[in-house]
């Protein structure tokens, strides 16, 4: 029995989560597993009513589940940053979800803005460190609001934190078994402390994985290669801030926010899965947003719950629907409503 916490969140979050759960139900029926869901209403509306983002008591409750399925966080009436830090980043940090896993996979039939590249060229995974770096909130203001103001934002990189992330990436790369190639993405030519530590930890862990070929790319260069030669990549490991940036570029080359999903992974604890596109408030309640990214998040969740067959079936069903049915992934241009897309994927999963 899998106990799944569901946080539909804001805007179109609930609509896409509903379709993700539809596909989860189909997968459970077809592949014989049981699950239970518990809903949590954390998000912008609750914050506006109660002032509460994600209280500590909720962290304990979430931690008692096997996985968390998150819709979207972000509300037009709430100042940017409050919900992101108070809910999303709080969950990642408090639950020690130290990996942000972002597959960049071009499904068949999906348009990529990159000319002459197809699904065989765009299929890699970014392993982003998710609890350190510039995201820790270390720093502060000096002489705030004066002409002499100083703002310091520190990047914290611990040996343990980098090493566990790198080790996860090697393990993941080996298990993925595609090209057994792991690329470290950094900026060693300039960030001579933080990324020196990354490089040394990477080299030491690499010695334990002789079957994995290693490579290195500077973060600026990798942005060029993603566009020019995406087929070069298998698995990439990088720090929190660089990972944030390159995964949005990755999302675009795989067809956009309508398909991009991510997992916030704690390999020894509870992980959280989300479509990465945000809450898209202006489309709320219209049943036109494309739920494929939320369905892809469910696919990732099934992998981590070790429902491998069900995960593979959802992956095939997504590919079937993108290849055979959808005109586009863009909001309002798919040719179907939100719920129809969920129905088509669920039906395909049910049929096997
Ligand atoms: C992501 C998002 C978040 C991040 C924001 C919403 C805080 O962009 O998951 O990539 O920066 O990590
Ligand atoms: Mn991001």
Nearest to 236 by CA among 224, 250, 257: 250
Mean pLDDT of 241-255: 98
What is d(CA 154, CA 133) in angstroms, rounded to the nearest whole number?
8
Q: What per-residue confidence (pLDDT) applies to 90? A: 98
Place of tokens 């408030």: 281
> Which tokens hold the place of 134?
């510039």
CB 235 within 8 A of CB 169: yes
- Protein residue with least CA distance to atom 11, ligand 1: 244
List CB contacts of 297: < 8 A, sequence separation 6 or more.
20, 69, 70, 261, 262, 263, 273, 274, 275
Report which ligand 1 atom has the smallest distance to the Cα of 248. 10
Helix (H, G, I), strand (E, B) or coil at 249: helix
Ligand 1 geometric centre to CA of 277 (Å): 10
Q: What per-residue confidence (pLDDT) applies to 283? A: 96
> HSE on the CB side for 30, CA within 13 Å?
23
Q: What is the pLDDT of residues 26-56, one digit of tens each?
A: 999 999 999 999 999 999 999 999 999 999 9
Q: What is the pLDDT of residues 168-198, one digit of tens each?
A: 999 999 999 999 999 999 999 999 999 999 9
Query: Domain 115-122+131-254 is classified in which CATH homologous superfamily?
Result: Isopropylmalate Dehydrogenase (3.40.718.10)
> Which tokens hold the place of 182?
């792991």
Q: Are strands 181-186 and 213-218 parallel, antiparallel or unpaired?
A: parallel
Residue 277, number of CB atoms within 10 A of its CB = 24
What is d(CA 13, CA 83) in angstroms, rounded to the nearest whole number?
14
* Ligand nearest to C-alpha 262: 1
Mean pLDDT of 188-216: 98
Ligand 2 geometric centre to CA of 103 (Å): 13
Ordered DSSP codes for 132-160: SEEEEEEEEEESTTSTT-EEEEEEE--HH
Q: What per-residue confidence (pLDDT) applies to 152? A: 98
Strands (E), 143-192: 150-156, 181-186
Q: What is the pLDDT of residues 131-178, one digit of tens each?
A: 999 999 999 999 999 999 999 999 999 999 999 999 999 999 999 999
CB 16 within 8 A of CB 71: yes
What is d(CA 187, CA 177) in angstroms, rounded to the nearest whole number?
27
CB-based pocket (< 6 A), ligand 1: 84, 88-89, 244, 276
Q: What per-residue confidence (pLDDT) applies to 352? A: 82
Residue 148, number of CB atoms within 10 A of its CB = 8
> Which tokens hold the place of 64?
């008692």
Mean pLDDT of 249-257: 97
Ligand 1 geometric centre to CA of 311 (Å): 25
Q: What per-residue confidence (pLDDT) applies to 44? A: 97
The reply to whether domains 1-111+261-352 and 115-122+131-254 share a CATH topology is: yes
Q: How high does pLDDT run on average in the chain?
A: 97
Q: What per-residue confidence (pLDDT) applies to 7? A: 98
> Which tokens hold the place of 88?
């999303």
Q: What per-residue confidence (pLDDT) applies to 100? A: 98
CATH number of 1-111+261-352: 3.40.718.10
Q: What is the pLDDT of residues 297-350, one digit of tens each?
A: 999 999 999 999 999 999 999 999 999 999 999 999 999 999 999 999 999 999
- Domain ranges in the chain are 1-111+261-352, 115-122+131-254
Ligand 1 geometric centre to CA of 244 (Å): 6
What is d(CA 261, CA 250) in angstroms, rounded to the nearest whole number?
11
């Amino acid at each position: 029995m899998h106990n799944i916490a569901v946080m539909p969140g804001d805007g179109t979050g609930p609509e896409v989560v509903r379709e993700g759960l539809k596909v989860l139900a189909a997968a459970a029926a077809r592949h014989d597993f049981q699950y239970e869901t518990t809903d949590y209403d954390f998000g912008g509306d609750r914050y506006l009513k109660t002032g509460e983002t994600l209280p500590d008591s909720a962290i304990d409750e979430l931690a008692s589940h096997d996985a968390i399925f998150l819709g979207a966080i972000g509300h037009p009436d709430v100042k940017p940053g409050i919900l992101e830090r108070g809910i999303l980043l709080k969950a990642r940090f408090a639950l020690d979800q130290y990996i942000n896993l972002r597959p960049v996979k071009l499904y068949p039939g999906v348009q990529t803005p990159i000319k002459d590249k197809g699904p065989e060229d765009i299929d890699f995974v970014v392993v982003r460190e998710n609890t350190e770096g510039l995201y820790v909130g270390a720093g502060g203001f000096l002489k705030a609001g004066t002409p002499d103001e100083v703002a310091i934002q520190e990047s914290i990189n611990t040996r343990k934190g980098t090493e566990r992330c790198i080790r996860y990436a090697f393990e993941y790369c080996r298990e993925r078994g595609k090209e057994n190639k792991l690329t470290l993405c950094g900026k060693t030519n300039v960030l001579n402390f933080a990324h020196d530590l990354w490089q040394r930890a990477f080299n030491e862990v690499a010695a334990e994985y002789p079957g994995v070929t290693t490579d290195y790319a500077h973060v600026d260069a990798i942005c060029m290669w993603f566009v020019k030669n995406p087929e070069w990549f298998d698995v990439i490991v990088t720090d929190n801030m660089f990972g944030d940036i390159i995964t949005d570029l990755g999302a675009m080359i795989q067809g956009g926010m309508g398909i991009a999903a991510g997992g916030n992974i704690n390999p020894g604890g509870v992980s959280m899965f989300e479509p990465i596109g945000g809450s898209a408030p202006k489309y709320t309640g219209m049943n036109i947003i494309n739920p494929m990214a939320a369905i892809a998040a469910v696919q990732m969740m099934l992998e981590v719950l070790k429902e491998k067959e069900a995960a593979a079936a959802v992956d095939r069903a997504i590919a079937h629907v993108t290849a055979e049915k959808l005109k586009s992934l863009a909001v309002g241009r798919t040719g179907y409503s939100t719920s129809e897309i969920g129905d088509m994927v669920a039906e395909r999963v049910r049929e096997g």
